[in-house]
Amino acid sequence: MRVESLEIGASGIVRLRTDGGSCFLFRLEQLSPSAGPVPSIGQEAGDTFLAGAKEASGIYAAETKALELLARAEQTRYLLTLKLRKRGMGDGSISPALDRLEGQGLLSDERFARAWAEERARRRGEGPARIAAGLAARGVSEDLARRVCVELYPEEARGEALLRAARRLLRSGRKDPEAAARKLRSEGWKPSEIRGALEAIRKEGD
């Protein structure tokens, strides 16, 4: 099988077509050294090279799709892996593609964790335990989830954050303070903090 057309862009993207109709699109840096050099137009493309080109093309396809998903919203490595698998891509393509994106700073579990936690706290009033559980379900490490929650709810800001969460609960239909307290405990707030917040809200209504 011979090379019919070949383009190598300035960014190292290789577009190659053989006279047998096979097409490959890959990063030159992702072509395994064992595949050998890229043959020129008219040269024979051996089985070893074709196998390497196919592997590199799979990595580039995974990277391209991952970038499309990241353009829509921040992702974790775990979430991206699941989404790429659902599109029929194998871990042998996914892993090196995501390694490259992490190395470039385009994929970051930490950036996702901070953005996701801040949004949940601001819009839903979720407490630290609920947020930590949500981060874990999205593939964020326990250590990173703990750090994000500590930064999101430092001691000096916990009281005000809890007051906002309690007011939101009471406005949403949980008029019973006990029901509100149970909900707040399930979200990781301390019983002593909850009692203080509910008492402060009660006094506001006096």
Kindly give the confidence (pLDDT) of every residue in the chain, 206 residues in length, as a single tens digit, with 9 standing for 90 and above.
899 999 999 999 999 999 999 999 999 999 999 999 999 999 999 999 999 999 999 999 999 999 999 999 999 999 999 999 999 999 999 999 999 999 999 999 999 999 999 998 877 778 888 899 999 999 999 999 999 998 888 766 777 777 777 777 777 765 677 777 888 887 777 788 788 778 777 777 65
The pLDDT score that the predictor gives to residue 50 is: 97
Please give the full DSSP string across the chain, using - where no structure is assigned.
-BEEEEEE-TTSEEEEEETTS-EEEEEGGGS-GGG-SPPPTTSB--HHHHHHHHHHHHHHHHHHHHHHHHHHS---HHHHHHHHHHTT--HHHHHHHHHHHHHTTS--HHHHHHHHHHHHHHHH---HHHHHHHHHHTT--HHHHHHHHHHHS-HHHHHHHHHHHHHHHHHTT--SHHHHHHHHHHTT--HHHHHHHHHHHHHHH-
The pLDDT score that the predictor gives to residue 174 is: 57
The pLDDT score that the predictor gives to residue 175 is: 63
pTM, entire model:
0.80
Token pair, residue 174, equals 């949980």
Rounded to 5°, the CA angle 22-58-4 comes to 25
The pLDDT score that the predictor gives to residue 159 is: 72
**Residue 152 CB coordination number (10 Å):** 20
The pLDDT score that the predictor gives to residue 205 is: 61
The pLDDT score that the predictor gives to residue 81 is: 98
Residue 5, beta-bridge partner list = 17
Token pair, residue 5, equals 């057309």
The pLDDT score that the predictor gives to residue 156 is: 66
Measure the CA–CA gap between 120 and 134, rounded to whole angstroms: 10
